[in-house]
Amino acid sequence: MLPEGTIWLASRLLLCALLVGMLVLAYMFFEPYWLTVREVTIHNPNVPPAFNGLRMAFLSDIHHGPYFSLARVRNAVDRTNQLHPDIILLGGDYVHRDACYIAPCFAELARLQAKLGTFGVLGNHDPWEDAALTRESMQRAGIHLLDNRAEWVMLDGQRIKLGGVGDLWEDEQDLAPTLAGVTEGDMVVLLSHHPDYAETLTTDLVDLVLSGHNHGGQVTLFGLWAPLLPSSNGQKYRTGTVHTGLTTVVISNGVGTVTPPLRFCARPEIILVRLER
d(CA 110, CA 141): 4
Average pLDDT for residues 113-127, to the nearest whole number? 98
Query: Does residue 147 come out as left (phi exceeding 0), alpha (psi in the -120 to 50 range) or beta?
Result: beta
d(CA 124, CA 92): 8
Q: Which residues contact 3 (CB under 8 A, 6 or more apart)?
A: none
pLDDT band, very low/low/confident/very high, at 79 (cuts 50, 70, 90): very high
77 to 114, 201, 267, 271: CA distances (angstroms): 12, 32, 17, 13
- Please determine, for residue 75, whether its predicted confidence score (pLDDT) is greater than 80: yes
% of residues, the chain, pLDDT over 90: 91
Nearest to 201 by CA among 214, 213, 188, 212: 188
- Please determine, for residue 8, whether its predicted confidence score (pLDDT) is greater than 70: no
Is the Cβ–Cβ distance between 228 and 267 less than 8 Å? no
Question: Per this entry, what is the length of the chain?
Answer: 277
Find the helix or strand (DSSP H, E) in which 140 lies: helix 131-140
pLDDT band, very low/low/confident/very high, at 4 (cuts 50, 70, 90): low
Q: Tell me the torsion sign for CA atoms 188, 194, 195, 198.
A: negative
- What rounded mean pLDDT belongs to the chain? 95
State whether residue 11 is helix, strand or coil. helix
d(CA 226, CA 264): 10
Nearest to 68 by CA among 118, 33, 102, 22: 33
pLDDT in tens, 127-159: 999 999 999 999 999 999 999 999 999 999 999
What is the assigned CATH class of domain 35-276? alpha beta
Q: What is the pLDDT of residue 209?
A: 98
pLDDT in tens, 189-226: 999 999 999 999 999 999 999 999 999 999 999 999 99
d(CA 251, CA 271): 9
Q: What is the pLDDT of residue 6?
A: 73
Number of neighbouring beta carbons within 10 Å of residue 140: 12
% of residues, the chain, pLDDT over 70: 96
The domain limits of the chain are 1-33, 35-276
Helices (H) and strands (E) in the chain, counts: 6, 12
Average pLDDT for residues 31-48, to the nearest whole number? 98
